[in-house]
Amino acid sequence: MQTVFRNRYLPYLLLAPTLIILLLFLYYPVVDTFRLSFFRSFIGLRQRYVGLENYQTLLGLSPGIETDYWNILGQTLIFSAGIVLTSMTLSLGLAVLASQRVRGLKIYRTLLIWPYALSTAIAGSIFLFLFNEAAGLMTYLSETIFHIHPAWLSDPALAPLVVGASAVWKALGYNVIFYIAGLQTIPRELLEAAAIDGATAWQRFWRIVFPLLSPFTFFLLITNISYAFFDTFASVSILTGGNRNTNTNTLMYNLYRDAFVDHRTGPAAAQSILLFGLVASITFLQFRFGERRVTYGG
């Protein structure tokens, strides 16, 4: 049934509040960020047009200027890939276990999902208490059992693992919800028929369950990539402060430091445009090539 408005301006009037909010808090900031990327500010007030100089400086294309932007990019890609692969693999395994018919199943599912209700900042704070180098629980256990005192948040080898673990733990609940929902849509007749034909549990999972979960996996892959690049900022800020010596200075945190700590709005705006382009390109490639392997329907 099609809705017909007698007043031709009524639909636009109803959409006006949403459009105004989008214009003020989404479209205008995007356009202004793009504009700022071509300027340099001096003393936080006066701006001077510099063209592509901010981009050239970041990418190390300006003669005589060295930048660690490529190192930060590499750290971010490795860090994000580790978060995405680990969180999706663990969540799929936990979802399969949480789909078994056992007593207290609802309690297990609730315990698996509840971290999603926490903010990333709270998740980072929990891990800060656990891995605090002076009085953290993990530090106490390490000293008691192994007689070692790890520098969890300052060692360049351990700090990325702790930050990554915090981000993975926060994302598990979200992923588990979708995988449990996906597992419930798989017809049990298919699995029973495969079992009668002699297929092992491992074969049934890889040949039937995993392909039928591909729409959920594809969706979660896109959302987890965005999460790893953007939403892990709070974990990095709380646990290590983006210390360059800990290999946790991600693109997002470096952008924040340039914009709000060093007040270098031009380079920060250029970084935001490059970061947006990077994530958009990865997402486009996923839709362009990854969706071909997605199986919709049984």
**Per residue in 47-77, pLDDT tens?**
888 888 999 888 887 765 557 889 999 999 9
Average pLDDT over residues 197-212: 88
pTM over 0.85: yes
Confidence label for 238 from pLDDT (cuts 50, 70 and 90): very high
For residue 58, give every residue at least 6 positions away whose Cβ sits within 8 Å of its Cβ, in sequence order, or none: 67, 69, 267, 270, 271, 274
In sequence order, the 6+-apart residues with CB closer than 8 A to the CB of 293 are: 214
pLDDT of residue 165: 95
- In this predicted structure, the answer to whether residue 85 has a pLDDT above a threshold of 60 is yes
Confidence of residue 172 (pLDDT cuts 50, 70, 90): very high
Pairwise CA distance, residues 109 & 176, whole Å: 9
> What string of DSSP letters covers 52-72?
THHHHHHTT-STT---SHHHH
pLDDT at 291 over 80: no
How is residue 153 written in tokens? 């948040």
| CA torsion, ordered 42, 45, 48, 53, to nearest 10 deg | 60
Name the token pair of 3.
């809705």
Beta carbons within 8 Å of 232's beta carbon, 6+ residues apart: 79, 80, 83, 120, 163, 167, 250, 252
What structural domains does the chain harbor?
A: 71-293 (1.10.3720.10)
Phi, psi values for residue 282, rounded to 5°: -60, -45
How far is the C-alpha of 152 from the C-alpha of 158, rounded, in Å?
5
